[in-house]
Amino acid sequence: MKFTWFNLMPWPYLPDDFREKNRSVWVDIDQKLFDPAKSHEVYNTYMDLLEYADTLGFDGVGVNEHHQNGYGIMPSPNIIAAGLARRTKDAAIVVLGNSIALYNPPVRVAEEFAMLDCISGGRLVAGFPVGTSMDTNYCYGQIPSLTREKYQEAHDLIIKAWTTREPFAFNGRYNKLRHVNIWPRPIQQPHPPVHIPGGGSVETYDFCIDNTYSYSYLSFSGYLRAQALMSGYWKRVDERGVDKSPYRAGFAQTILVADTDEEAERLYSEHVSYFYNRCLHVYPGFADAPGYRTIKTIQTGALSQYAPPRGGYAELTWKELTEQGHVIAGSPETVRQRMEDLIKGLNVGNIFCLMHVGNMPADKCMYSTKLFAEKVMPKLRGMFPDWADDNRFWTTPLDKRVASGRLPKEAPTGAELARTYGVEA
């Protein structure tokens, strides 16, 4: 099992009447609700929490990309990842990911990911999302029905840039580059493991299978509702005649651990409510630009996960959110049982643990994270023993890595340098 501690980085100061006074948390969210001075502490706290997860033995720490979004103040995940590459020791740096159709040219992603892989000593997991319609179309202006073609070209260019050892010309429809020759290139060979976040596009299943990429379903509605989508994926894996390694798939799940089920409700329900009621308040007009999804996908009935459940999230109580599996919360034993159901039910080896939720303060988040790491994670580690050696979808770091802060506290004197380099003073 691979557990990645994930933070969406929500803005924690959305007002109580946010829902009533605003039409959307995303795209056209009110500028006045963001306070740059307050964000200084928010960003640093969130990065501290990611670093804390590394010290507890999580397999990865995860970041992602959203734009103009009140629940994800991370338009550039690579900036956060760069900080993590320096300040964490062992965890994989899971960037899930860069919306590659948005980078001009996408070689930029090949370069920045290579830098992250080099700085971290080969700890990068590279995520290539198409990007939500909100991000890709409404915020970044990509033409919906051409987004996938542009994404595909960007992918081909990045992989070629990573794996080709001499300068080449790339004559794409969206990218005309006469001299592609990235410097640096990644440590991991032939390139860092690739995870593809998907939301039920059937074309994405085949794309992952064809390239040995891990398919990640990043949903907020929990594992019970994910059954249909994930079984569609496994059915396709079966049809294609490839192995059913659980590491071919990943799933994001909100997880909250306390001493008892009651304590979990007492400590966390207000933050869960903040997330589901305020953070997921997306104007339906931004959910799905016409042409963004393929006809095939629409026909399978996989609609936008941002279309809220009937009646809306606002009416869901703690009890409903936990019972319906949107959130897995409770005592270590409750969480263990439900995680086991999730892992077996969806056959997923990569879990993106959403352990910070909504406006949760750092102390509660640390408490929950520590309990999960110490009392839940060890009991789940041994699942899928048959696939324990399957490292196709995870990192291969250098054995010997350096850490930040290795330099001596003081600069040497001239005499010391002379001694070091054997020069007569």
Single residue of 248, 293, 326, 356 touching another protein by CB under 8 A: 293
The stretch among 61-69, 280-288, 360-368, 413-421 that binds another protein (CB under 8 A) is 280-288
Please give the biggest Cα pair distance in the chain: 82
Span of 61-69, 297-305, 354-362, 380-388 interacting with another protein by CB under 8 A: 297-305
Within 175-194, which residues bind another protein (CB under 8 A)?
A: none
Exactly one of 43, 283, 367, 387 binds another protein (CB under 8 A); that residue is 283
Task: Say how far apart CA 195 and CA 197 lie, in whole Å.
Answer: 6
Contacts for 313 with CB less than 8 Å, ≥ 6 apart:
276, 277, 280
> Position 176: which residue type?
K
Minimum CB–partner distance for residue 149 and another protein (Å): 8
Residues numbered 301-330 forming contacts with another protein, rule: CB under 8 A: 301, 303
Contact characters 3-32, another protein, x per CB under 8 A = ------------------------x-----
> Which of 144/397 has CB closer to another protein?
144
* Contact call for residue 295 and another protein (CB under 8 A): yes
Instruction: Please state the closest distance from residue 288 (CB atom) to another protein, in A.
Output: 8
Out of 291, 309, 345, 397, which residue is the one contacting another protein (CB under 8 A)?
291
Separation of alpha carbons 345 and 93, rounded Å:
27
Count CB-CB contacts under 10 A for residue 387.
17
Interface residue with another protein, options 3, 170, 286, 384 (CB under 8 A): 286
Q: Please list every residue from 111 through 170 that binds another protein, using CB under 8 A.
A: 137-138, 141, 143-146, 149
> Do 51 and 87 form a contact (C-beta atoms < 8 A)?
yes
Q: Is 299 an interacting residue with respect to another protein (CB under 8 A)?
A: yes
Shortest Cβ 154–another protein spacing (Å): 16
Binding site for another protein (CB under 8 A): 27, 137-138, 141, 143-146, 149, 283-286, 289-295, 298-299, 301, 303
